[in-house]
Chains A and B, each alone.
Chain A
Amino acid sequence: MLQTTKRKSKSKVYKRLARVPAQFSSWFEGRNWEVRQYQKQMVTAFAQYQSTLLIAPTGAGKTLSGFLPSLIDLTQHPLKGLHTLYISPLKALTQDIHRNLKSPIDDLQLPISVGARTGDTTSYQRQKQRKNPPNILLITPESLMLMLSYADAPRIFGDVKNIIIDEAHSFAFTKRGDFTALALARLQHLAPEHVRFGLSATVAQPEVLATWLGRSGEPCKVLEVKSRTKPKVSILKTKERMPFGGYMGKYAVKDIYERIVAAQTTLVFVNTRAQAELIFQHLWSENTHVLPIAIYHGSLSKEQRQKTEAMMSTGQLRAIVATSALELGIDWGDVDLVIQVGAPKGVSRLLQRIGRSNHRMDEPSQALLVPANRFETLECQAAINAIKKNQLDGDTPMSGALDVLPQFILNCLCSKAASIEEIYQQVLDASPYGGLDEFTFQKLWSFTENGGYALQAYERYNRLRMQDDGLFEPTSKRIIMRHRQNIGTIVEAGRLRVKRLRRAHQGKIIGEVEEYFAQQLVPGDTFFFAGEVLKFEGIKDMIVEARPGKAKEPKIPSYVGGQMPLSTFLADGVRELLNAPESWKKMPLQVREWLRLQADFSIIPSPHKVLIEQFPFRQTEVTLLYTFEGRKANQTLGMLVTRRMEKMGLKPLSFSITDYGLSISSILAVKTQDIAQLFNPDILGDELEDWMLAAPMLKRSFRRVAVVSGLIEQQYHSTKKTMKQVTFSTDLIYDTLREHDPDHILLRVTREDAERELLDLQRLADTLIRFNGSYDFISLSKASPMAIPIVLDVKSEQIKGQGAEALLEQANLYQEAENMLQDVKDILSGTNDKRN
C-alpha cells in the first residue's frame, strides 16, 4: 500500500467499489469484448489502494485496464476537479487515448470530463485547465512538471486518486524516467492517497520496473499477463548479393516490395531517419502496382504525421516506412506483417516492433528481419534465438541523474517556499534517488542557489533567496519564468524547420533537419526529405527553404539521433553464434561463405581470446579489436588505448567503435610486441580520471548537464538558441570550472552522466583482466571480411595528438635542420630581409 497515513481530504471518505458494475460489463459485451481477469484485478487493486504494475502484451486492452477503475469510481462518486492523471511519454499517445476514452464515456453518458495537456496545448486551454481541471487529465512528464510549479498546484492535484504511467518500460531507466519519478514524489507529497498504475510491455525483470514505479523501498505489486503465442520471425532469404558493409539495406528493396504486395498491411521499421528516407524512395521506384506507401519519422511536421496516422487508421495505406517514432502506442489492428530492415539492436525493442502487427492477442505476429550487411545477419539470428528461448535484454537501473535535481528544486520552490530538508525528504521518496546522500544534495542545492564558487559572482545564478523564516524562494519572477520555459531533460540537437517552397518565399513547413546538416548545404544542393527530393535555396529566419527538385543522387538528411545502442545481451548472443559453427547452417549461404572467408583469411574470434587484426586502410594503419563488449566499454577502451599509443609514439589519429569492436587508425602500425603493453590492465591507472575529464566526450556530457541543470538555457526570450551558441558557452564554462573550481558539483555530475551514457569502467576492467595476455594478433595485408562493416563506420573520435601533428608536419619537411640554423642566424641579423 502506498500511503496509509490519513490526511484530511476535502472529499468525503467512502468505500471504493471492488468489482466491475453491470453497466460496464454490458458495455463490453455490446462490443463483443469481455472484461478480462486482470482488468477486474486492477479494479480491485484500486479499491484496496494497491499500486500495481501491469505487464501485458500489446493488444490486450492494457490502457483501458488503467482507466477502468477511474471510470467506475467517478461514476459511483462524481467529483469536481482532477481525479486521474495519465502520464505518457508520447504526445501522440495522449490524443489517441483521448479518442478511445470518449467512446465509453459517450456511450454510457458518464459524468466525466477529459482533457489533454501537452506542449501543443493552447494558452487559453491551459488557463481553463488550471482554473477548472478535468476529471481525467492526459499529460506528458514535462507538462506535468510545469503544472507542479504553479502556486496553486496543491489545489489542482490535491485530490488525485489514480496516476497511470503508460509505456513505463520505454523510459523508466532514462533521465526522463528520473524526472518522472521526481514528479511522482512531488505528487506523493501533494496527494498522498493516490494509487499508481504502471502499464508496460513485457520486460526481462518486472521487479526492477516495479521498484521504479513504487516509492523508495516500496516496490509496487506486479500483475503479469503472459502472451499465449510467440511471434513467427524469420530472416529474409534473397537472391540479391548481400553487402559486407553499410547500414541501409538498399539491396533488399525488391524483396521487401514483393512482401508488401503479398501482405495486407505492412510496417517497415528502419533504424535511422536517413534510412527511412532512402528505403522509402527506393520502394517507390519499385512501386509498379502504385500501392499507397507512406513514410513516418520524428522529423516530419506534426500535420504530416497526423495525416499519415489518420490514413493508416482508416485502412487506406498498404505500408509505412517508419522509425522508432512509431514503436509506441497507437493501435491499428490490421497490420499483418512487420519488416525490420537493419540490425534489431535489442530483443525487447524488436518484440515491441513486432508487437505492432496483429493486435489480436491470441494470434501470432509475423515478422521478417532484413539484415543490412552480413555481420548484421548474426545479430538477427541471435535475436531470433533469444525470442525462441523467451530471453529478453534487461535494463540496468542506475541511481538517479543528478543534473535533474537543480531543476526539481527550483520547480518545487516556484510553487511554494520550502526548506532544504523538506525538499530533500521528497527527493528521497523518488526511488531512483532513494540512496542520495545529504552532502551531495547540499552541494546541488547551493549550485541551484548561486551557481557555486566559480560562478557565484554572476547575478543570473543567484536563483534562490532565503526568507526571514528560513525557507527558500526564487529570487525573482524572471527566474521563475526562465525556469518554466526550460523544463525537461531532452536536450535537442539544434534543429531547423524545413519549408517547401511553391513560389517566392511562400510554402508549407514540412518538418525539421539538424542544424549542422543545414549548415553544410550550399544553394543548389539536393537532399531527400519527407519522401521527395528537395533543392536547397537558403536559410531565412532560421528556416531552411527548399524547392522540389529532380536530382538523382541527392544528399540524404543525416540525423544525430539515429544511432541505437546494441544491448549487451545481444552482443553476447552474436559471440556465441560465431563459436558454434554447427549453428551457421541456419543462416543464409552468403553469410556462411563470408564466415568461411574470414576463417581462411584471418581468424574467427574465439570465446576466450580477443582477436586483434592489424592492416593498412586508406593511408593509415588500422588496429581492430573484437571485444564484443558493447559500445560503452569500447568507447572507454578507445580513449585509454589511444592515450597509451600516444605515449608509445605510435601516433594514433582517431578511433571508431561499434558494438562488437574498436577500430583505431594510427600513423605507425601496431606490432605483436606492442600488444602486451597496449592492453595491459594498468591503462586504468591513476591519471585516468583527470585525463578523461579533458576528453571531448566529457564536454558533450557537460553540454547536456549544463542545459538540464539550468546553467544554460536553450530557450531565451521565447527564441531558441542555436546549438552552436550553446556549445560555445558550455565548452568555455567547462574549461573554466576544471581550471578554477575542480570540485564543482557539476563536474561530478558530468562524470556520472558520462558513466551512464558512455563509459562502462567496471565491465572494461573485468575484460582487461580476463583477457590479459590472451589474444590472437594477426597482421593482414588488407581489411578482413569481418572488419569491413566496422572500418566503414565513419563516426570516429579524433585524437588531437602526435598523429595529427605528424600529418601536418609533412608539409614542413623542407625545413631541414642544417638550413634552419643558417636561416635563423640570417633572420636575427636582418640580412635575410634584404636578400629577397
Chain B
Amino acid sequence: MISETDLLKKIQNNKAVTSSFSGHQFVLDAAGCLYWPKHDLLVFSDLHFEKGSFLSQFANPLPRYDTAKTLAKMSLAIDEYSPQKVLCLGDSLHDSNAVKRMLEDDRDAINSLVSQVPEWFWVLGNHDPEIPKEIHGTTLPHIKLDKLLWVHEPEDLTLHIDVNAQVIGHFHPKIMVKRSGQRMTGKCFLIANNTFLMPALGQYTGGLSVNHEAITSLYQGQAEHAILFNNKVFLV
C-alpha cells in the first residue's frame, strides 16, 4: 500500500486526484490506472498488448515496442502503489494470436509482474475472450466487490443481485476541454451516477469522444471527467 506522504505528494503534483463513486473513494492516477485504497486494489484497463504487431500485418509498419512500453507504465504504477491485488479490466490482449507474436522478453515481463503481486485477476474482454495459459494469473468474466460490478463491457445491472453500479473499460474515453480559447485533449476517466469508465492504458490505443452517443447513452444525469494531460491528471 502506498504511504500517506507519497500519495499526498502525488496529489499535490497533479499526478493523482481523488474521486468518489457510488459511495467509494478512488484514487485516479495520471498514468491512467485506478487505485482503490479500501481493497488495496490497482486497476488497469484496455492494455491491448501486441496491437502494434497486429496492425503491422496490414501495411501499417508500426514499431513493435508498444507492449514493452505499456508494461513499463504498469510496472511503475505497481512499484508506487505496491497493491495487494491487481485487476486488468479486459482487452488486455489485442487479439487471440497476440501471445504467439509476443517477444519472449515481453511475455516474461508480464509473468514477472504477475508474480510480484499476491493476487492478479484478468477480466475478459471482447478482444481477449480467453487468456492463454502461458500468461499467469486468475481469469474471470467479471468481479463483484462491495456492490460494485467490475466488468469490461457494460451490463444490465438489474440482472445482477447485490450490485448498484459498475466500473467498465471498453470505450477508451477521451475528452476535449476548451478554456480561454485553448483546446486540451486527453484520455479520461468518466464518473457518472452508476457508471464509471476507465481510460485505455495501452500504448497504441486511440480514444472515443465522451460526447459520442455510444458513451452518453451509458448513463443518466451529469458526468464528471478526469483528463490525463501531460502525464498529469485534472478533474474537469
Task: Report the minimal beta-carbon distance from A741 to chain B, rounded to whole angstroms.
Answer: 9
A451 to B130, CA, bound (A): 35
Q: Cβ of B230 and Cβ of A801 under 8 Å apart?
A: yes
List of A residues within 8 angstroms of B232 by Cβ: 805
Q: Does B118 contact A (CB under 8 A)?
A: no
Q: Does A692 contact B (CB under 8 A)?
A: no
Q: Cβ of B63 and Cβ of A740 under 8 Å apart?
A: yes
**Could you say which of B17, B25, B56 contacts A832, with CB atoms under 8 Å apart?**
B25
Q: Cβ of A808 and Cβ of B7 under 8 Å apart?
A: no
Task: Report the minimal beta-carbon distance from A751 to chain B, rounded to whole angstroms.
Answer: 19
List of B residues within 8 angstroms of A824 by Cβ: 4, 7-8, 11, 18
A713 to B60, CA, bound (A): 9
Q: Cβ of B236 and Cβ of A712 under 8 Å apart?
A: no
Closest B residue to A741 by CB, please name it: B63
* Known interface pairs A455-B63, A827-B27; A808-B206 also in contact (CB < 8 Å): no
A716 to B61, CA, bound (A): 12
A375 to B38, CA, bound (A): 64
Closest B residue to A799 by CB, please name it: B182
Task: Report the minimal beta-carbon distance from B24 to chain A, rounded to whole angstroms.
Answer: 6
Chain B interface residue count, CB cutoff 8 Å, equals 44
Q: Does A836 contact B (CB under 8 A)?
A: yes
Q: Cβ of A740 and Cβ of B65 under 8 Å apart?
A: yes
Q: Cβ of B12 and Cβ of A820 under 8 Å apart?
A: yes
List of B residues within 8 angstroms of A103 by Cβ: none
A729 to B180, CA, bound (A): 31
* Known interface pairs A461-B61, A732-B204; A808-B234 also in contact (CB < 8 Å): yes
List of B residues within 8 angstroms of A801 by Cβ: 230
Q: Does A504 contact B (CB under 8 A)?
A: no
**Could you say which of A458, A654, A798 contacts B56, with CB atoms under 8 Å apart?**
A458
Q: Interface segment, A145-153, A282-290, A811-819?
A: A811-819
Within 8 A of A (CB), among B23-74: 23-25, 27, 37-38, 52, 55-56, 59-66
Q: Does A124 contact B (CB under 8 A)?
A: no
Task: Report the minimal beta-carbon distance from B217 to chain A, rounded to whole angstroms.
Answer: 18
**Could you say which of A460, A811, A836 contacts B236, with CB atoms under 8 Å apart?**
A811
Q: Cβ of A828 and Cβ of B7 under 8 Å apart?
A: yes
Q: Does B221 contact A (CB under 8 A)?
A: no
**Could you say which of A654, A733, A807, A828 contacts B1, with CB atoms under 8 Å apart?**
A828
A653 to B182, CA, bound (A): 7
B126-154 vs A, CB cutoff 8 Å, 1 = contact: the mask equals 00000000000000000000000000000
Q: Does B184 contact A (CB under 8 A)?
A: yes
A526 to B214, CA, bound (A): 26
Q: Cβ of B227 and Cβ of A808 under 8 Å apart?
A: yes
A811 to B37, CA, bound (A): 24
Q: Cβ of A736 and Cβ of B63 under 8 Å apart?
A: yes
Within 8 A of B (CB), among A766-821: 798, 800-801, 803-805, 807-812, 815, 817, 820-821
Q: Cβ of B235 and Cβ of A812 under 8 Å apart?
A: yes
Q: Does A107 contact B (CB under 8 A)?
A: no
* Known interface pairs A620-B180, A713-B59, A807-B184; A827-B8 also in contact (CB < 8 Å): no
Closest B residue to A817 by CB, please name it: B12
Closest B residue to A820 by CB, please name it: B11
**Could you say which of B4, B14, B56, B181 contacts A812, with CB atoms under 8 Å apart?**
B14
Q: Does A830 contact B (CB under 8 A)?
A: yes
List of A residues within 8 angstroms of B230 by Cβ: 800-801, 804-805
Q: Cβ of B62 and Cβ of A808 under 8 Å apart?
A: no
**Could you say which of A451, A458, A619, A717 contacts B180, with CB atoms under 8 Å apart?**
A619
B153-190 vs A, CB cutoff 8 Å, 1 = contact: the mask equals 00000000000000000000000010111111000000
List of B residues within 8 angstroms of A739 by Cβ: 65
How many A-B contacts at CB < 8 Å in the complex? 123
Closest A residue to B52 by CB, please name it: A732
A786 to B59, CA, bound (A): 50
Q: Cβ of A716 and Cβ of B59 under 8 Å apart?
A: yes
* Known interface pairs A454-B63, A733-B63; A827-B182 also in contact (CB < 8 Å): no
**Could you say which of A740, A803, A808, A833 contacts B24, with CB atoms under 8 Å apart?**
A833
Task: Report the minimal beta-carbon distance from A750 to chain B, rounded to whole angstroms.
Answer: 16
Q: Cβ of B25 and Cβ of A807 under 8 Å apart?
A: no
**Could you say which of B37, B62, B180, B206 contacts A830, with CB atoms under 8 Å apart?**
B37
Q: Does B20 contact A (CB under 8 A)?
A: yes
List of B residues within 8 angstroms of A733 by Cβ: 61-63
A804 to B178, CA, bound (A): 10
Closest B residue to A823 by CB, please name it: B18
Q: Cβ of A729 and Cβ of B61 under 8 Å apart?
A: yes
List of B residues within 8 angstroms of A7 by Cβ: none
A461 to B56, CA, bound (A): 11
**Could you say which of B20, B25, B182 contacts A654, with CB atoms under 8 Å apart?**
B182
Closest A residue to B39 by CB, please name it: A830
* Known interface pairs A740-B65, A805-B232, A812-B14; A828-B4 also in contact (CB < 8 Å): yes
A162 to B63, CA, bound (A): 47
List of A residues within 8 angstroms of B12 by Cβ: 817, 820
A681 to B138, CA, bound (A): 60
A729 to B56, CA, bound (A): 10
Q: Cβ of A808 and Cβ of B63 under 8 Å apart?
A: no
Task: Report the minimal beta-carbon distance from A522 to chain B, rounded to whole angstroms.
Answer: 12
Q: Cβ of B25 and Cβ of A812 under 8 Å apart?
A: no
Q: Cβ of A833 and Cβ of B23 under 8 Å apart?
A: yes
Q: Cβ of A827 and Cβ of B18 under 8 Å apart?
A: yes
Task: Report the minimal beta-carbon distance from B10 to chain A, rounded to whole angstroms.
Answer: 9
List of B residues within 8 angstroms of A836 by Cβ: 20, 23-25
Q: Cβ of A458 and Cβ of B14 under 8 Å apart?
A: no
Task: Report the minimal beta-carbon distance from B146 to chain A, rounded to whole angstroms.
Answer: 8
* Known interface pairs A817-B12, A827-B25, A827-B37; A653-B61 also in contact (CB < 8 Å): no
List of A residues within 8 angstroms of B25 by Cβ: 826-827, 832-833, 836
Task: Report the minimal beta-carbon distance from B226 to chain A, rounded to whole angstroms.
Answer: 10
A713 to B7, CA, bound (A): 47
Task: Report the minimal beta-carbon distance from B63 to chain A, rounded to whole angstroms.
Answer: 4
A281 to B148, CA, bound (A): 59
Task: Report the minimal beta-carbon distance from B5 to chain A, rounded to whole angstroms.
Answer: 9
Task: Report the minimal beta-carbon distance from A821 to chain B, rounded to whole angstroms.
Answer: 6
Q: Cβ of A732 and Cβ of B23 under 8 Å apart?
A: no
Task: Report the minimal beta-carbon distance from A702 to chain B, rounded to whole angstroms.
Answer: 13
List of A residues within 8 angstroms of B181 by Cβ: 618-620, 665
Q: Does A439 contact B (CB under 8 A)?
A: no
A716 to B66, CA, bound (A): 24
List of A residues within 8 angstroms of B229 by Cβ: 800, 804-805, 808
Task: Report the minimal beta-carbon distance from A669 to chain B, rounded to whole angstroms.
Answer: 14
List of B residues within 8 angstroms of A740 by Cβ: 63, 65
Task: Report the minimal beta-carbon distance from A705 to chain B, rounded to whole angstroms.
Answer: 14
List of B residues within 8 angstroms of A619 by Cβ: 180-181
Q: Cβ of A732 and Cβ of B62 under 8 Å apart?
A: yes
Q: Cβ of A711 and Cβ of B180 under 8 Å apart?
A: no
A820 to B17, CA, bound (A): 10
Q: Does A728 contact B (CB under 8 A)?
A: yes
A317 to B37, CA, bound (A): 77
Q: Does A720 contact B (CB under 8 A)?
A: no
* Known interface pairs A808-B229, A817-B12, A824-B11; A712-B180 also in contact (CB < 8 Å): no
Q: Cβ of A732 and Cβ of B206 under 8 Å apart?
A: no
Closest A residue to B234 by CB, please name it: A808
List of A residues within 8 angstroms of B4 by Cβ: 824-825, 828
Nearest 8 interchain pairs by C-beta: A736-B63, A807-B179, A808-B234, A619-B180, A836-B23, A830-B38, A832-B25, A716-B59
Query: A458-B61, A800-B229 are known contacts; what are 10 more A-B pairs with Cβ within 8 Å?
Result: A618-B181, A712-B61, A716-B59, A729-B55, A733-B61, A736-B63, A740-B65, A811-B236, A827-B27, A830-B38
User: What are 17 A-B residue pairs whose CB atoms fall within 8 Å in the complex?
Assistant: A460-B56, A618-B180, A713-B59, A716-B59, A717-B59, A729-B55, A732-B52, A733-B61, A805-B232, A807-B184, A808-B179, A810-B179, A815-B17, A824-B18, A828-B7, A833-B25, A833-B37
Binding site for B on A (CB under 8 A): 451, 454-455, 457-458, 460-461, 618-620, 653-654, 665, 711-713, 716-717, 725, 728-729, 732-733, 736-737, 739-740, 798, 800-801, 803-805, 807-812, 815, 817, 820-821, 823-828, 830, 832-833, 836
